[in-house]
């Protein structure tokens, strides 16, 4: 039991042969070593009513062991017993697992510098946490390099060579001083504005080279395919 807390002694467990019999109770605090009555000292407590089956007292400060003797009897019989109670200043705190938080899912562009943030992860016991970020989903992991992957905040450069919208997934593993851990994941959708390779006349240049003769001379038509960053020309001669 904890120091400076209220405790109730229980002497009501006696099972008399005669259920109608009346018993008298007498509690006495004893020296923990000699089991003689304890008259003074730092462990001395005050029982609110030592002549009842269940007296109440407040435990002293510090770590110690208390002893109490109980005498139960009536006019025809008497018995006695001793109980010892261990008092501690504080109970060992139960180690609870940490709660990992990898942050909110986001949408980014290719080439963006992206911040992985696990600062909302907590340890219920108030200990210092360790972190480990890894990529767990998406495109070839060799294309993404994490910096400071062993801290609560890690950075990576979003790949700019994707041709389609691509999802990347990163997981943080959070560990407390007692070795308990938990994980959480966050997703990043990389958007790309690359267009498909189509000759759309209002947007692309159509150039006719040559002259029309009486019989309709052939013309060379050049279709210029306009792509972001990568222009492509395809010449078709009918």
Q: What is the DSSP string of 96-109?
A: PPPB------EEEE
**Domain residues of the chain, as ranges?**
6-87, 106-191, 206-236
Q: Tell me what the mean pLDDT of segment 153-163 comes to.
A: 85
Question: Half-sphere exposure of 133 toward its Cβ, with a 13 Å CA cutoff?
Answer: 26
pTM for this one? 0.50
- In this predicted structure, the answer to whether residue 25 has a pLDDT above a threshold of 70 is yes
Q: Tell me what the mean pLDDT of segment 95-115 comes to.
A: 92
3-class state of residue 126 by DSSP: coil
* 129-144 tens-digit pLDDT: 999 999 998 877 656 8
Q: Token digits for 152?
A: 């609560």
* 191-211 tens-digit pLDDT: 876 444 443 434 434 443 344
Q: Tell me what the mean pLDDT of segment 65-85 comes to.
A: 88
3-class state of residue 143 by DSSP: helix
Tell me the CA distances in angstroms from 146 to 29, 58, 115, 143, 171, one per residue in order: 66, 58, 10, 10, 12
pLDDT of residue 29: 95
pLDDT of residue 214: 42
CA 137 to chain centre: 21
pLDDT of residue 123: 93
| Of residues 183, 116, 126, 175, the one with CA closest to residue 149 | 116
pLDDT of residue 133: 96
pLDDT of residue 141: 61
pLDDT of residue 51: 93
The burial class, CB within 10 Å (0-12 / 13-18 / 19+), for 4 is: exposed
CA-CA distance, 97 to 83, in Å (whole number)? 37
- Is 178 or 19 the better-scoring residue by pLDDT? 178
- Is 210 or 117 the better-scoring residue by pLDDT? 117
Mean pLDDT for the chain overall: 79
Q: Which CATH architecture has domain 106-191?
A: Sandwich (2.60)
Question: Half-sphere exposure of 152 toward its Cβ, with a 13 Å CA cutoff?
Answer: 14
pLDDT grade, residue 219 (50/70/90)?
Answer: very low
pLDDT of residue 19: 58
């Amino acid at each position: 039991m904890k120091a400076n807390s209220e405790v109730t002694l229980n002497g009501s467990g006696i099972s008399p042969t005669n259920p109608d019999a009346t018993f008298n109770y007498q509690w006495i605090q004893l020296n923990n070593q000699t089991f003689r009555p304890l008259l003074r000292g730092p462990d001395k407590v005050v029982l609110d009513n030592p002549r009842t089956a269940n007296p109440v007292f407040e435990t002293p400060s510090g770590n110690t062991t208390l002893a109490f003797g109980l005498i139960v009897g009536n006019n025809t019989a008497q018995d006695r017993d001793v109980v010892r109670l261990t008092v501690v200043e504080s109970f060992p705190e139960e180690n609870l697992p940490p709660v990992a938080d990898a942050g909110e899912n986001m949408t980014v562009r290719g080439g963006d510098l992206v911040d992985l943030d696990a600062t909302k992860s907590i340890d219920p016991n108030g200990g210092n946490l360790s972190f480990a970020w890894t990529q767990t989903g998406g495109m070839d992991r060799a294309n993404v390099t994490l910096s400071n992957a062993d801290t609560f905040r890690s950075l990576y450069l979003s790949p700019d060579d994707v041709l389609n919208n691509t999802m990347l997934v990163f997981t943080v593993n959070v560990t407390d001083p007692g070795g308990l851990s938990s994980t959480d994941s966050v997703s990043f959708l990389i958007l790309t504005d690359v267009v498909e390779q189509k000759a759309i006349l209002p947007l692309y240049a159509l150039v006719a080279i040559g002259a029309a003769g009486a019989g309709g001379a052939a013309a060379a038509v050049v279709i210029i395919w306009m792509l972001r960053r990568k222009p492509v020309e395809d010449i078709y001669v009918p």
